[in-house]
A = this chain, B = another copy of it.
Amino acid sequence: MAAVDLSTHPGHLARRLQQAHSLLWGAMVSEETTSPQFAVLNALEEKPGMDQRTLSEHVHLDRSTIADLVARLAGRELVERVRDPMDGRRNVLKLTEQGSRVHRKLVTRTARMNRVFLAPLDVDEQETLLRLIARVAGAAEELRG
- Contact surface of A with B, Cβ cutoff 8 Å: 1-4, 6-25, 35-36, 39, 42-43, 45-46, 59-60, 103-104, 107, 110-111, 114, 117-121, 125, 128-130, 132-141, 143-144
Residue of B at shortest CB range from A132?
B129
Would A12 and B39 be within 8 Å (CB), given that A1-B104, A125-B132, A128-B128 are in contact? yes
Measured between beta carbons, the chain B residues less than 8 angstroms from A136 are 17, 20, 117-118, 120-121, 129
One complex includes copies of this chain to the number of: 2
A13 touches B121 (CB 8 A): no
CA distance A104 to B138 in the complex (A): 30
Measured between beta carbons, the chain B residues less than 8 angstroms from A45 are 1-3
Known contacts A3-B42, A14-B17, A120-B136; can you find 15 more A-B pairs with CB under 8 A? A1-B103, A3-B43, A3-B45, A8-B114, A10-B17, A13-B134, A14-B18, A15-B18, A16-B137, A17-B17, A18-B18, A20-B141, A121-B132, A125-B132, A128-B128
Would A140 and B110 be within 8 Å (CB), given that A4-B42, A35-B11 are in contact? no
Measured between beta carbons, the chain B residues less than 8 angstroms from A15 are 18, 35-36, 60
CA distance A38 to B107 in the complex (A): 37
Measured between beta carbons, the chain B residues less than 8 angstroms from A60 are 15-16, 19
Measured between beta carbons, the chain B residues less than 8 angstroms from A137 are 13, 16-17, 19-20
CA distance A104 to B3 in the complex (A): 9
